[in-house]
Amino acid sequence: MRVVTEIPHAAVKITVFAWNGKYLIKLERGPYEQTYKISEMEVAGDETIKQMLDETFINEAVSLFQQMHQHLMAALERAE
């Protein structure tokens, strides 16, 4: 697996990898990660990926990170 690019953003760390005919878009925020796999055949390259990661996508990802945190906290409470 190789790093294609890192895309700077204030809310999340974004790293794009190439591996096995796919691009892996990894978003990180705190202890949480989201990974999206896209066939290299579906996009023209890392510039297309950068265009895909618009503010709407990032805002929805941040919302999902918040949900992930809530789910983890609820699971921890149930386990006590």
Give the residue among 22, 23, 72 at the shortest CA–CA distance from 49: 23
Confidence of residue 9 (pLDDT cuts 50, 70, 90): very high
Q: What is the pLDDT of residue 47?
A: 87
Q: Report residue 46's pLDDT band, with 50, 70 and 90 as the boundaries.
A: confident
For residues 14 and 7, the answer to whether their CB atoms sit within 8 Å is: yes
Domain map (residue ranges) of the chain: 2-79
Tell me: pLDDT of 34 over 90.
yes
How far CA 53 is from CA of 65, 72, 76, 80, in Å, comes to 16, 26, 32, 38
Residue with tokens 């895909």: 52
2 forms beta bridges with: 18
Question: Global pTM?
Answer: 0.90
More confident residue, 45 or 25: 25
Task: Using a pLDDT cut of 90, give the percent of the chain over it.
Answer: 94
